[in-house]
Structure 1
């Protein structure tokens, strides 16, 4: 059986007397995407910095491709690619010049130009190749930044909130790149604030809270934490006290309240709607949905203090 591409066992990282990571265990197989989710301060960035050799573990073991990130840090850096939250490119160089420069810095020498051209072809960057990076839009810069992280043909690619600030079209383009990479056998570790992004890309997800793992599993498994179906409806605020159950609620305006309640299955949801009708509750904007990762986050925040 093939060994995992990423292995983290009992990882602790301390900043002074504060544990930024407090006993993390996870792994990721080759050719898969691992999503790392969590609210700000949950430990996502510290985890990525540790996995990419920038932060030394206080306690625990971290291996990338069978190599220890402390003992074999130099070799680990040769095998990984990293795209951070902000494009790390020289704004005065063209996209091609940036890629070629990175290639030379990583030891490609005479083949650096060939590698740059290959990535331009692979990621469809021809229209940006001869333009200075400083002249590009945010989405275009991000695509060039992803290309830069692929210059060394990494076996593991770390994407730390790579689509923050991108428009939907640019975000979808990066999703296609991730699909292509994992299909080719690379492993992707992705942190993101966009839950639909994790739902779309991740084979497995780890949710961090306070430096610990609050939940883990496939997107489908995490959704089952919440329940079978979620009923959403808008009702008159003065009828809220007449409800036969206690829902989650958010005030829409001075006269209306948006309510949500989790039930086991669709027939139960239908029966609940009928009960509201019999009780004379004025319901508008009614819908019944399967749980989303947003619902998982809300559930974890209420039950385990995930949002802190």
Structure 2
């Protein structure tokens, strides 16, 4: 069954999603305030429901599915079409980079485009959420460590990404990476058959099958857990297919007011409007971990 992290009435909660004829509702789970390190598979599945406090999804603020993951590990160049359009050699080992929790926003929050970048790009991706901790996980046991799947948009500032051989400076901008809307359980998604699609202002610019991953999900979990312990709530963004704006002719970049929608069959859809952040010299903000993490105005 799908789950969501959300804010309602000033309270952070985790809810089970019920698909009803009058729209989706969230049934809060007793004692849980967000999906993450404290909600491994057994805890999430066994939490009692507070059915009397059910609320329509339209009345809550959806947070990133995991608002404060311990780790966000992303995979680059993991579809043949993206490798080809990038004019790179086929990788023999997954290309890995990281983001920070402060990069995340919810499924309908604004994507904040920084004034320092003129090349803000979209990258629709499937994200895997870890449900059980593990180190050096064998590929054939990887499925035991999956809590579920969600949708992500690995928004990238291309003019910063390629300033060095490392990609961090183009990938980890604050309030730029939508993740959501729901966590879909492994039994609810046929990863081998599902398609991923990205639309920019209604035009389909990415459309691919998840079976096209160069390194599949068990391989990614085995590879990553070789060098670090994966924990409940950790996110693995599995890569984007071909069709990114930077490689198009003419190029397509996200501008103020652009709407980007990423849909994965059986998982869900997130849709976000881009807001260009004003340049303010010397400005300071509260830490992303305080208050309503992941929420944007």
Verify same fold: TM over 0.5: no
TM-score w.r.t. the length of structure 2 is 0.24
**Higher helix proportion, which one?**
1
* Higher radius of gyration, 1 or 2: 1
Q: Which has the larger share of strand? A: 2
Q: TM-score, normalised by structure 1?
A: 0.24
